[in-house]
Amino acid sequence: MTALRVAIVGSGPSGFFAAGNLLEQDDVEVQVDVFDRLPTPFGLVRYGVAPDHPAIKSVTKIFDRTAQHENFRYFGNVEVATHVTAAELAQWYDAVIYAIGASGGRRLEVDGAWLPGNHPSSDFVGWYNGHPDRRELDVDLGVERAVVIGNGNVALDAARILVTDTDKLAGTDMADHALRALHGSAVREVVVLGRRGAEQAAFTPAEVAELGKLPGVDVIVDPADVPEEDKERDKARPPVERNNIKQLRRLAAAEPTGADRRIVLRFLRSVVGINGEGKGGPVRSVSIARNELVEGEDGTVEAQPTGHVDEHDAGLVIHAVGYHGTPIPGIPFDTERGVFRNADSRIVGYDGEPLPGHYVVGWIKRGPSGVIPTNRDCARDTVSVLLADAAEGRIPRSAFDGAQVEKLIAERVENLVEYDGWMAIDAHETALAEEHDRPRVKLTSVDEMVDAALGGSGETPA
């Protein structure tokens, strides 16, 4: 049997883990082409993971090894939907795995959420990480207080970045434009708001503990917001909750040092309105409702407003309230969950029937939750369903071969960046960083990246 030809759309962790898994198979030969809309691979590893968490990014070494496989090709700077349609991919390949992530940001739906000074966390995080789509974002840091809405790790990342000493950030791969802006920042207090209580927080213990260790930053937690120590009750809590509470008790007990910058963690608070200066002017304050917890019929704990609302000055609001995927024409989409419609890793139509040869992996399959290793298990599931379908003849084989497809893509895409092009970008970024003792200096525009991929200076062509 000829090799199975699989296209993977998206080169984030889920796409790369799926590629690695397919190429490791002993009983079937697979050829894998990975597409990404950007010249640079690795998705949120490059554009989401915080710059001051470099160890997390070392997972790319595994992806580099996958890319060295003789049956692997990378087609970067190719957007599926724009340069190539889903219908074409279905014709050109035996199977297509969608791994496009879910990195569109949600905003809280309250009055004033679109005023200048509001940013979904996806935009803010993409801005400081140098995502080409977000490099022009206008983040006004000339304000004293910022509010971060949300209680997950992304909310804590955003809060930490806003108050971390820029001398420390200068040793990371944070985008230069963000470093400059943060260096001149007037932000002195970041208030992080959780709709529910400390026990329901979605962040993890290591992230909350890290806040307490930031030099020059006081972390304020109201002791009344944290359940009192109770050995029996604490023992019965799930481990993440137990350790979160332990860390929060520590922070609540610490005396503020009078540091120049503060992070305030507030629980049982919802933003119910964002107020601008005049009509349509930038954010000047937020209206915050206090909540109480009520237990639903199904046992889940929900926040309910008590009717008490306070107004607090603030000039910057980061909405860290979740992510959603972006539809691709021809692929059935679940608008509510923001994912491709799927069952058991197969993309399914609106009638629930699988679309032959169409699969899904990562955040666009499960929704925006789970850390990088979660995508490894997810990819294993997707690949095993795909291979079982192929073995049982449920996949229609393509009449195209790899050379024909490469020619078609090269005709369509003016500035195709293959893996050696990415390696040239990588070499260029790391060389730029050497004299500054940084891991890399990121190129942030597609033009600069294409230029560096072709062996140029990485400067934007005139």
Ligand X SMILES: Cc1cc2nc3c(=O)[nH]c(=O)nc-3n(C[C@H](O)[C@H](O)[C@H](O)COP(=O)(O)OP(=O)(O)OC[C@H]3O[C@@H](n4cnc5c(N)ncnc54)[C@H](O)[C@@H]3O)c2cc1C
Per CB under 6 A, residues contacting ligand X are 9-15, 35-38, 43-44, 48-49, 53, 56, 79-81, 99-101, 103, 125, 154, 157, 328, 362-363, 370-372, 375
Closest to ligand X by CB, 194 or 368 = 368
Closest to ligand X by CB, 192 or 288 = 192
Task: Tell me the sheet residues that pair with 270.
Answer: 289
Residue nearest to ligand X (CB): 12
User: At its nearest, how many Å lie between ligand X and the CB of residue 357?
Assistant: 18
In contact, 141 and 316? CB cutoff 8 Å: yes
User: At its nearest, how many Å lie between ligand X and the CB of residue 331?
Assistant: 10
Closest to ligand X by CB, 273 or 327 = 327
User: At its nearest, how many Å lie between ligand X and the CB of residue 14?
Assistant: 3
User: At its nearest, how many Å lie between ligand X and the CB of residue 53?
Assistant: 5
Closest to ligand X by CB, 192 or 268 = 192
Task: Tell me the sheet residues that pair with 316.
Answer: 146
User: At its nearest, how many Å lie between ligand X and the CB of residue 120?
Assistant: 11
User: At its nearest, how many Å lie between ligand X and the CB of residue 290?
Assistant: 28
User: At its nearest, how many Å lie between ligand X and the CB of residue 234?
Assistant: 27
- State how far the Cα of 147 lies from the Cα of 170, in Å rounded to an integer: 24
Closest to ligand X by CB, 218 or 429 = 429
User: At its nearest, how many Å lie between ligand X and the CB of residue 62?
Assistant: 13
Buried b (16+ CB within 10 A) or exposed e, 347-381: bbeeeeebbebbbbbbbbbbbbeeebebbbebbbb
H or E element in which residue 182 lies:
helix 176-183
Residue with tokens 């033009």: 447
Closest to ligand X by CB, 160 or 438 = 160
**CA dihedral sign, ordered 90, 93, 94, 95:** negative
User: At its nearest, how many Å lie between ligand X and the CB of residue 359?
Assistant: 13
Closest to ligand X by CB, 329 or 356 = 329
Closest to ligand X by CB, 112 or 132 = 132
Q: Residue 228, SS3? A: coil
Angstrom distances, CA of residue 276 to CA of 110, 231, 281, 287, 288: 13, 47, 5, 11, 15
CA triplet 93, 381, 59: central angle to 5 degrees? 90
In contact, 461 and 447? CB cutoff 8 Å: yes
Angstrom distances, CA of residue 417 to CA of 23, 36, 212, 390, 429: 21, 9, 42, 30, 16
Closest to ligand X by CB, 104 or 273 = 104
Task: Tell me the sheet residues that pair with 276.
Answer: 283
- State how far the Cα of 370 lies from the Cα of 362, in Å rounded to an integer: 9
User: At its nearest, how many Å lie between ligand X and the CB of residue 12?
Assistant: 2
Comparing CA positions, the residue from 53, 63, 381, 378 lying closest to residue 204 is 53
Closest to ligand X by CB, 101 or 112 = 101
Comparing CA positions, the residue from 28, 39, 32, 5 lying closest to residue 16 is 32
Alpha helices in 25-172 (DSSP H): 44-47, 60-67, 86-92, 121-128, 153-163, 166-169
The encoded tokens of residue 166 equal 């820029």
Comparing CA positions, the residue from 152, 140, 163, 267 lying closest to residue 216 is 163
User: At its nearest, how many Å lie between ligand X and the CB of residue 69?
Assistant: 19
CA terminus-to-terminus distance, the chain: 51
Closest to ligand X by CB, 158 or 286 = 158
